[in-house]
Amino acid sequence: MAHTTFPSDLPVPVDDGATSHLSGSIMPSVSLPATDDSSIDLTTLPGLVIAFCYPRTGAPKETVPDSWNAIPGARGCTPQACSFRDLFSELASYNVSRVFGISTQDTDYQREAKKRLKLPYELLSDEKLKFVEALKLPTFEWEGKKVIKRLTLAIMDGKIVHVWYPVFPPDKSAEQVLDWLKNAPKLS
């Protein structure tokens, strides 16, 4: 099955409370390498920033194993990234100043995905797990590596103002953010 689609019978993730500590908290200062060769510290960015965290995007011609599909919430990183690509302009019309995708994959891997998927935003690498540890983000192990469970953060001037967790279905992630923006109280 292609990485841009996913089976309709995927197990649905449940809210285990692993992000309940995040809403209203101040972002810790952690610089992450970006796919444009810059270093991004989300605490320094003014305005409303949307950062979606995902386990891992698949590589071209990679076969997605059934064991990955069996993990609730694991499958769908590429469709999630594409949802933010497809609604990027609309998000900006609601004063979203920046969008970022964050995973524990290395920057070279992410750079290929950004180019292949034609993403208009940067991907950030938390390969060293500094962001995960600083925010105490939920993770799981995959093939001996720690990966981030899928979640989305709305950050206003360095403060987390909303958290989506779990995110399902992943291809509706940007729509969920947009629906919130349409109905959210004025953020300032």
pLDDT tens per residue, range 123-144: 999 999 999 999 999 999 988 9
pLDDT of 9 higher than 90? no
pLDDT at 3: 46
- Domains, the chain, with CATH or none: 41-183 (3.40.30.10)
Mean per-residue pLDDT of the chain: 92
Find out whether the peptide bond into 11 is cis, omega within 30 degrees of 0.
no
What's the whole-model pTM score? 0.94
Cα–Cα distance measured from residue 105 to residue 108, given in angstroms and rounded to the nearest whole number = 8
Look at 3 and 180; give whichever has higher pLDDT: 180
- Residue 111 pLDDT exceeds 90: yes
CA 103 – CA 129 distance, rounded (Å): 9
Contact 97, 48 (CB under 8 A): yes
Question: Tokens 């449940």 — which residue?
Answer: 14
CA–CA gap between residue 174 and residue 50 (Å, rounded): 10
